[in-house]
Amino acid sequence: MKVLVTGGCGFIGSHTIVSLLNNGYEVISIDDNSRSTTATLDGIEAITGVKVNNYQVDLCDLAKTKAVFAEHSDISGVIHFAAYKSVGESVSIPLLYHRNNLNGLINVLECVKEFGIKTFVFSSSCSVYGNIEHLPVTEDTPFKEAESPYARTKQLGEFIIRDFAKATPEVNSMVLRYFNPAGAHPSGNLGEMSWGKPIYLVPVITDTALGKRDKMTVFGNDYDTRDGSCVRDYIHVMDLSDAHTNALEFANNDKGETNCEVFNLGIGEGVTVLEAILAFEKVSGMKLNYEIGARRDGDVVAIYAEPTKAFDVLGFKPKYNIEDIMSSAWAWDKKMNG
C-alpha cells in the first residue's frame, strides 16, 4: 500500500515515515521545506535503506497538490502533518497560520475525495482542549477557548474534518490529538531540527547542557503539583509514530464505529518540569544549570491524557519513558552539534 505523508521532512512526519516503511508501506512525501530540511530524508534512508521521494510543493497551491495525487493514482491513505506550529509566531501573525494550516488541509481533503482515497489521518494536538478544568483529558473533554491562533487552527481543522466525514462516508478519517512529543530515533540518525531558539522543554534542556544558553528557567515552583512545577504528558516520537501506523491500519480495515474517529495519544502520566530535569541529569550524568523563576502567563498547571481508548482500540502501547526521551534527544543533539 502506498501512503502519502504531508510534512514528511518534519519532526513527527519523518519518524512516522520510518514506522510506515518498517511496516511494509510504500511512502511518498509532500513538504515545501519552508520549516524543514531534506536532510531528514537522508536520516530516513540511513535507518531504513529506502530513499523516499519528496515533492517540494506548497499545499496551498491546489493545482500543484493535485498534480502529485494524479501522478500517484495508487495512493491508499494520507497522513497529514504539514502545518505551521509555533505558538508565539501564530499570535504575532495569525492570518499566516489560518491561511497555511486551513487552506492546506482543505486542499488535501479535496484531493482525498477526488482521487478516491479511503483513509485520512490528521495530526491534531491536545492544544484543542484549551485551559482544561478536569484531569485526565479524555476524547470527550469539551473544547475551551483556544490559547493561540495555532491551537484554533487545530480546532477548526477538526471541525472541517467532521463536516467532510459527514458528506464523504466513503472516507475513513482519524483525528489524533497528541500531547508533548519529544525524543529522537534510537539510532541517532533522526531527530528534531532546531528552527530558531527552542521553546519546548526537552530541546531547552539539551540546549542548556550543550552550553547554547547559560541557564534555563523553571517557570514557577509553587503550583499545586508534586514538586510545585507544571505537569505535562511527554510521549516519545517513535511511540507516537507507531500510533499513526496503527491508526492507518485501523481505518484501512474499517474498524471504526464511525468514519471519523478521535484518539488521544499520550502515555497517561504527567511529568513535572523538575522531574524532567532530573531524568536528563540521570541519563547524561550532567548537572543542569537552571533557576526557579516566576510563573509564566498562559501556562496550564497540568495536562495529561486518558489514553485508554488508544490503548484498547488501536493497540497503542508506548515503549519509552521520560528517561528514554531524554537519552535519545541528548544523543541526537550531541551528534548535530558535533
Active site amino acids? 150
- CA count, 13 A, side-chain hemisphere, 255: 14
Instruction: Report DSSP state, residue 219.
Output: E
Which three three-digit cell numbers place residue 291?
Answer: 533557576
Distance CA 128, CA 178 (A): 10
Distance CA 318, CA 268 (A): 10
Closest by CA to 251, choosing from 62, 73, 117, 87, is 117
Closest by CA to 180, choosing from 329, 337, 7, is 329
* SS3 call for 175: strand
- Is residue 6 a contact partner of residue 79, using CB atoms and an 8 Å limit? yes
- CA count, 13 A, side-chain hemisphere, 89: 14
Q: How far is CA 208 from the centre of its chain?
A: 23
What is the chain's alpha carbon radius of gyration, rounded to the nearest angstrom? 19
Distance CA 102, CA 107 (A): 9
* SS3 call for 27: strand
- Cβ count within 10 A of residue 48: 18
Distance CA 239, CA 319 (A): 7
Distance CA 226, CA 268 (A): 16
Which three three-digit cell numbers place residue 104?
Answer: 492546506
Q: How far is CA 334 from the centre of its chain?
A: 22
